[in-house]
Chain A
Amino acid sequence: MPVLETAEGPIWRLRNRRETLTRWFVWFLGIAIFLWCWQQISDATTWFFVWDAPSIAGDILGRATPPRWSYMDNLWAPIWDTLNIATLGTIAALIMAVPIAFLAARNTTPSALFIRPIALLIIVATRSINSLIWALLLIAIIGPGVFAGIVAIAIRSIGFCAKLLYEAIEEIDHSQVEAITATGASRWQVMVYGIVPQIMPAFAGIAVFRWDINIRESTVLGLVGAGGIGLQLQASLNTLAWPQVSLILLVILAAVVISEWVSAKVRGAII
């Protein structure tokens, strides 16, 4: 225990001198980095606009209320599109994620040396790029519209679903697999009767969880032109139609809350 010797006797300390100095140095470095970052942001900011912000915020709020409820008639079709983007995208992602998960899990992969790293690379690459960027890319390739949104959501979700699924596969109870193997089952039969029943609840949970996230993401995909309610949001923002913007934001908020509620209910019923 570090003790400081003084004329009046020893005083207990939490850390010795070197640890204390190291700690101070790390804090100093951290604060210096933060201040430098803040300096960068501050330099890139027009402070005049910032001081003006409260009045602008009040102005926008004044224009945005009350929401233009009659615009709701134009929103039903985009809402349907948004739902389709999320649902079809999730289904497509799951279809692709299942084989990748089986290839990535240590206990089911055919080759830990060659195929597993490739599967892991697909998982990381699809997961680390946001669906908006995928949408941007797909719009450049296959043109704007709902289809690009579906594909963007699907690609983005592969990594997420496959990662959670392969972790579930790695955690299965091995004795059940052995029992099926002992009956003389083939590789595929072992999979169907020994592994799949064990990961089925996890699979359903992942599917619903990701569907919930995808509803959120598909509401904003339209900002880059990939269909759904985001298109209306972008159009309203461009024409500064704030009463429509506030209505759309309310609809998005409602969609997020409802999908979260549905997902929580379904997951509660499964688990």
Chain B
Amino acid sequence: MRAYAEGETHRELDDLLGTTWRRPPLVQRAWLRWTLLIGFAVYLVAAIASVEVNWTRVYEGLDRGAAFVMAFARPDFVSRADAIWNGMLESIVMTVASSVVGILISIPIALGAARNIAPLPVYLICRGIIAVSRALQEIIVAILLVAIFGFGPLAGFLTLSFATIGFLSKLLAEDIESMDKSQAEAIRATGARWSQWIDYGVKPQVIPRLIGLSIYRVDINFRESAILGLVGAGGIGATLNTAFDRYEYDTAAAILLLIIGIVMALEYISGVIRARVQ
């Protein structure tokens, strides 16, 4: 926004009188606006032109699509009940175990990644761990861990624990950095040891946030555990993949409905708990 000199505003207003008012654009500078618009249009044309769509294949697929949508109306929980139950159980087991381990590891890392608590070398190391954990997607970590540890839920468990560390440590460290200093100082003034200082000065301030974040992460871990099976890292994903491969849409619909149901339940529970602790 440019600053107006004394009297200039009035002259502009006089100029505007009699003309129609127009909405101010989102991007103020005209050349930038046009460059962005034209560049974007050129990109769009190039991108859409490069996407090859086999429309006959899509058209043929519409029947299957309709069959799938219909499958949601009558999901089949029964005929593969064993596989669904085992897969679900494995997903839940992985979620619980990885959340517990991930949270336990991420607390010390969060303390180390908070600049107001940790000395610089520790801070840099912990921030490095967080950056690595956040940059690698779960599925890629899972592929590598499956290659190293073999198929099964152990690889999935390690993947989710690793991903939990990056997520939780970062947010918790930010919370510790923005805490109220005076409370921590008061504890320190009583002559508390370092561990007592953390326990009575820092912990009470961040525990509500830690609980909220942990529950949110449990929710995310469950959602992620549903896809780890695609690369052989255990969980319901393998069952789902098999159902798609066999074109058993009613079983796939049943699994998807279960996932949606559990995610909704978890979201509801986490909302209730977060409202209570905060």
In the complex, are the beta carbons of B244 and A140 less than 8 A apart? yes
* Interchain Cβ contacts within 8 Å, total number: 142
Residues of A within 8 A of B240 (CB): 133, 136
* Chain B min CB distance to A233 (Å): 8
Residues of B within 8 A of A141 (CB): 61-62, 64-65, 68
Shortest Cβ-Cβ A-B pairs, 7 listed? A49-B150, A128-B263, A142-B61, A37-B97, A45-B154, A143-B57, A84-B47
* A68 to B264 alpha-carbon distance, docked (Å): 45
B30-55 interface bits toward A, Cβ cutoff 8 Å, 1 = contact, 0 = none = 00000000000001100110111110
- What is the CB-to-nearest-CB distance from A49 to chain B, in angstroms, rounded to a whole number? 4
A37→B156 CA distance, assembly (Å):
13
Contact A257:B135 (CB < 8 A) given known A41-B154, A87-B47, A88-B51: yes
Q: List 29 A-B contacts (CB under 8 A).
A: A37-B96, A40-B93, A40-B153, A41-B93, A41-B153, A50-B150, A53-B148, A56-B148, A83-B47, A87-B47, A124-B263, A128-B260, A130-B226, A132-B139, A132-B230, A133-B240, A140-B64, A140-B68, A140-B247, A141-B64, A142-B65, A145-B52, A197-B23, A204-B26, A216-B137, A223-B139, A223-B230, A224-B230, A253-B135
Q: Say yes or no: A147-B53 contact (C-beta < 8 A), given A41-B94, A130-B226.
A: yes
Partner of A143, one of B43, B58, B100, B241: B58
Chain A contacts with B in 204-221, Cβ cutoff 8 A? 204, 216-217, 219-220
A132 to B233, CA, bound (A): 15
**Interface residue ranges, B against A (CB under 8 Å):** 23, 26, 43-44, 47-48, 50-54, 57-58, 61-62, 64-65, 68, 89-90, 93-94, 96-97, 100, 135-137, 139-140, 143-144, 147-150, 152-154, 157, 223-224, 226-227, 230-231, 234, 237, 240-241, 244, 247, 252, 256, 259-260, 263-264, 267
Given contacts A45-B154, A124-B264, A128-B260, contact A249 B140 (CB under 8 A): yes
Given contacts A45-B154, A125-B260, 10 further A-B contacts (CB under 8 A): A44-B90, A49-B150, A88-B51, A133-B227, A137-B252, A143-B54, A143-B58, A146-B51, A147-B53, A223-B230
Nearest-neighbor residue (CB-CB) of B53 within chain A: A147
Contact A60 B51 (CB under 8 A): no
Whose C-beta in chain A lies nearest to the C-beta of B66?
Answer: A141
A130 x B61 contact (CB < 8 A): no
From B67, which residue of chain A is reached at the shortest CB distance? A141
When distances are taken between beta carbons in the complex, the residues of chain B under 8 Å from A142 are 57-58, 61, 65
A 127-169 binary contact with B (CB < 8 Å = 1; else 0): 0111011001100111101110010000000000000000000
